[in-house]
A and B are shown apart, each in its own frame.
Chain A
Amino acid sequence: AQTVTQSQPEMSVQEAETVTLSCTYDTSESDYYLFWYKQPPSRQMILVIRQEAYKQQNATENRFSVNFQKAAKSFSLKISDSQLGDAAMYFCAYRSDNNAGNMLTFGGGTRLMVKP
């Protein structure tokens, strides 16, 4: 079974600065998808960014980018120019390409605080 580990329970960043959230995963598969989800307090979880394992190029979405290291099974999220609205729980998630049901395995989350 796959596991996803987020080793930073909490992170703090100054507004306008850059922060990196870590995620590692364990799998024996070669084809899979990785996701970062954001969960603001009392609000729904939303997809921030996704990465296909077969792509070597790191995904980017505006201020959000990932550093995908397949051999190291690492998938970190970099948030540039941090904004107050970025404060939330961030979850890393894994989905096997062999999983017909597209179920996600989530990490335990990282709480990001943004200081004004």
Chain B
Amino acid sequence: DTGVSQDPRHKITKRGQNVTFRCDPISEHNRLYWYRQTLGQGPEFLTYFQNEAQLEKSRLLSDRFSAERPKGSFSTLEIQRTEQGDSAMYLCASSLTPRADYGYTFGSGTRLTVV
């Protein structure tokens, strides 16, 4: 297991198009998180899963955003009708409860540019 993988690394899309990102967590980790990081800022929490259940969503996650984690394995984050304000780095992280107090393992992120 080589850590948390995210695909694609970069995505350029036209405004109004839909995009989907994938995250493969560390296999034994039951928690999976999505964060968004805009240029020059710290990451902001979007949503998290415990196994396949989505347990919390931030107010940042508008109705154009949807996330899934079927079977508690990989996760996808879809953005519909993209807007220029969606341009950011989307970070995925995973952790194993109850050891989550040791912090997460982050992926390298997907950088989205909406033109």
Cα separation A33 to B108 with both chains bound (whole Å):
24
Interface: B45 (CB within 8 A)? yes
Using a Cβ–Cβ cut-off of 8 Å, how many residues does chain B contribute to the interface with A? 27
Task: Tell me whether A43 and B108 are in contact (CB under 8 A).
Answer: yes
* Minimum CB–CB distance for B27 against chain A, Å: 17
A/B pair count, beta carbons within 8 Å: 60
Name the residue on A nearest B49 (C-beta): A101
Q: Give the distance in Å from the alpha carbon of A109 to the alpha carbon of B44 in the complex.
A: 12
Q: Across the interface, do B40 and A108 meet the contact criterion of CB distance under 8 Å? A: yes
In the assembled complex, A104 has its CB within 8 A of some CB on chain B? yes
Q: CB-nearest residue of chain B relative to A97?
A: B101
A105 to B58, CA, bound (A): 12
A5 → chain B, closest Cβ, in Å? 10
Q: How far is the CA of A91 from the CA of B102 in the complex (A)?
A: 16
Main secondary structure of the interface of B (DSSP, over half): mixed
User: Is residue B95 contacting chain A, with contact meaning CB distance below 8 A?
Assistant: yes
**B42 and A108 form a contact (CB under 8 A):** yes
Binary flags per residue of B73-115, CB closer than 8 Å to A gives 1, else 0: 0000000000000000001000101001111101111000000
Give A95 to B24 CA distance when docked, in angstroms.
Answer: 24
Tell which of B41, B97, B102 touches A108, judged by Cβ atoms closer than 8 Å. B41
Question: Which chain B residues in 50-72 approach chain A with CB under 8 Å?
Answer: 50, 55-56
A102 within 8 A of B: yes
- Is A91's CB under 8 angstroms from B31's CB? no
- A residues whose Cβ falls under 8 Å from a Cβ of B: 4, 6, 33, 35, 37, 42-47, 50, 52, 91, 93, 95, 100-109
User: A44-B3, A47-B102, A103-B45 provided; 14 other pairs, C-beta below 8 A?
Assistant: A37-B103, A37-B106, A44-B109, A45-B91, A45-B106, A46-B106, A47-B103, A50-B102, A101-B31, A102-B100, A104-B35, A104-B104, A105-B45, A107-B42
